[in-house]
Chains A and B, each alone.
Chain A
């Protein structure tokens, strides 16, 4: 049970002066039940990478297997397996089109040919996931909502599909910190409770470190580093900086202290850890 990319390359507009190699010989496997964050500089290929996971883009070279099935093949199996992947795009509110919130969230479930009762159950499930009251919002026009609420409705439309794999492309970009934390906490809860596999693109290192068990750093269409947050951020900050990534602020603080000869660990990722470590060093314990 995994999504596997085998030797995948992708080129935009091949054969023209606008040709751009977005991915080069990518080999990576995302396992069932993982929470992975993909980070990298703008243009490093992370969005292109995760669009391959849901079969929406056909690789120029190589194959993508979901649970062992090649999803770019024109087969019934490929069609079936694609349904198990839910994808939230950047600024997903741009895809809203229905007259009511209910109809919009129901679009996906209806396409999966569920009956009316099942569709309603899915819409309730989706809306409660994003924290919108079913009765209050179901009959409103999505276009009368605020930007943050529109984002929630759009995410509800994907959650209502009950996917086994959730692929998120910066789901919280442009939201205020509170909405950001709420939505991320919901994704994390869903991951823990149902074991859904999550692959998320993010620019926010602090939030990535808190949520993800595995971090993939992209640079110029290739995978630079791949591993647990601790193993990734223990790398020399120069390597990371070349990829346009800064380590979490506390990690940099601890590295700075160590550089000045203080006896502290440097593989620290959160403020809490740092506090314990510094207190121990200063002899309070």
Chain B
């Protein structure tokens, strides 16, 4: 039931995309998002879609799994599309009561929908091919220049690592507690909204208590292994950018150039 959450899950693999440096992937995604939010014509969207499909192909992850990430968002996508369809002024092609369908609306609706879909799709490609640990490592390294102006890069990354590390644990524990309370006759699937809300107390209380206990124990375990923040900390695996990373960054950056050229045509 809860085990089916797809967003943010990592799929181990050996593809080119898996082996890229996490920093490359994060920077690439930022460039991609920048391009995606500024383009505004059919040929640029075509370019971005081809890029996305190529990257998806390189990831060697089955299309079914990639599309699963979009599933929980289909109604947001549908809503965006219909709002744009019916609320953009322009050449009228159909009218149902207050709803006016325009050519500009259809165009705008399809573009906006593509934007959302591509955004989520590419972001899930990042999390599917990058383990949470290397993702936070990458963020830490990218933020580290900001340390001089007081951004606690290491602490932020450590917090993210710990949070990500405990998501599966907490999901597992939630499942166990739900089972245990169901076994004692609790019913979480019927009754009024208020009744259902109060019914979650037997799940939430033990969950919170265990989370606090675990946080305490983790802090103790880290301290007893002499953890004292990022100062002077070295790593077991140094991240290295290779030729593949250079190629990836150049290809992604060429999207910017492509977008500028296609805009002026």
- Contact string, A26-61, partner B, CB cutoff 8 A, digits 1/0? 000000000000000000000000010010110000
Q: Which residue of A lies closest to B12 (CB)?
A: A17
Which of A89-97, A208-216, A276-284 lies at the binding interface?
A89-97
Binding site for B on A (CB under 8 A): 12-13, 15-17, 51, 54, 56-57, 83, 85-87, 89, 92, 94-97, 107-108, 111-112, 143, 157-158, 161
> Are B209 and A161 touching (Cβ within 8 A)?
no
> Are A143 and B184 touching (Cβ within 8 A)?
no
B176 touches A (CB below 8 Å): yes
Chain B contributes a number of interface residues (CB within 8 A of A) equal to 24
> Are B185 and A89 touching (Cβ within 8 A)?
no
> Are B187 and A111 touching (Cβ within 8 A)?
yes
Complex interface: chain A residues within 8 A of B3 (CB) = 12-13
> Are A56 and B183 touching (Cβ within 8 A)?
yes
Q: A51-B179, A97-B201 are in contact. Are A111 and B186 (CB under 8 A)?
A: yes
Q: Which residue of B lies closest to A113 (CB)?
A: B185
Q: Which residue of B lies closest to A51 (CB)?
A: B179
Q: Give A279 to B182 CA distance when docked, in angstroms.
A: 53
Binding site for A on B (CB under 8 A): 3, 11-13, 64-65, 173, 176-177, 179-187, 201-202, 205-206, 209-210
> Are A107 and B202 touching (Cβ within 8 A)?
yes
Q: Shortest CB–CB separation between residue B128 and chain A, in angstroms? A: 10
Complex interface: chain B residues within 8 A of A13 (CB) = 3
Complex interface: chain A residues within 8 A of B181 (CB) = 95, 107
Complex interface: chain B residues within 8 A of A56 (CB) = 179, 182-183
> Are A158 and B184 touching (Cβ within 8 A)?
yes
Q: Give A17 to B12 CA distance when docked, in angstroms.
A: 7
Complex interface: chain A residues within 8 A of B179 (CB) = 51, 56-57, 87, 89
Q: Give A140 to B182 CA distance when docked, in angstroms.
A: 24
Q: Shortest CB–CB separation between residue A59 and chain B, in angstroms? A: 15
> Are B184 and A157 touching (Cβ within 8 A)?
yes
In the complex, 6 of the A-B residue pairs with CB atoms within 8 angstroms, ordered by the A residue number, are A17-B12, A56-B179, A94-B206, A95-B184, A96-B206, A97-B202
Complex interface: chain A residues within 8 A of B201 (CB) = 97
Q: Give A57 to B11 CA distance when docked, in angstroms.
A: 25
> Are B176 and A94 touching (Cβ within 8 A)?
yes
> Are A16 and B206 touching (Cβ within 8 A)?
no
Partner of B11, one of A16, A95, A111: A16
Complex interface: chain B residues within 8 A of A51 (CB) = 179
Q: Give A56 to B13 CA distance when docked, in angstroms.
A: 33
Complex interface: chain B residues within 8 A of A157 (CB) = 184
The 6 closest A-B pairs by CB, nearest first: A111-B185, A108-B184, A97-B205, A95-B180, A87-B183, A56-B179
Q: Give A89 to B173 CA distance when docked, in angstroms.
A: 12
> Are B206 and A108 touching (Cβ within 8 A)?
no
> Are A17 and B11 touching (Cβ within 8 A)?
yes
Q: Give A143 to B182 CA distance when docked, in angstroms.
A: 21
Q: Shortest CB–CB separation between residue B197 and chain A, in angstroms? A: 15
